[in-house]
Amino acid sequence: MRTISAKDAKYNFGKLIDTARAEPVTVVKYGRPVVVVMAVEEYQRLKGLEAPDPAPAGRAKKRRAKG
């Protein structure tokens, strides 16, 4: 995974997009990673790997009445 500074990401946004389509890019601000930019296809793939909701199907969550 490549890493670039937030300043470089700002001033070279087109290059950031091109790179992120090929591999995820970590954007670093003040020496700390803050975001990862990735292709939408990779994001959708990762979203598909999320664990299902552990609550049984058909059971609604109870809400407390305010008052």
What are the residues facing 2 on neighbouring strands?
A: 25
**For residues 26 and 30, what is the distance between their CA atoms, to the nearest angstrom?**
13
Q: Quick count: other Cβ atoms within 10 Å of Cβ 62?
A: 5
Domains of the chain, start order: 2-47 (3.40.1620.10)
The owner of tokens 């199907």 is 57
Q: What is the DSSP letter of 17?
A: H
pTM of the full structure: 0.70
Per-residue pLDDT, averaged over 37-44, amounts to 96
Q: Which of 14-23, 37-46, 56-65 has the lowest mean pLDDT?
A: 56-65
Residue 67: pLDDT over 80: no
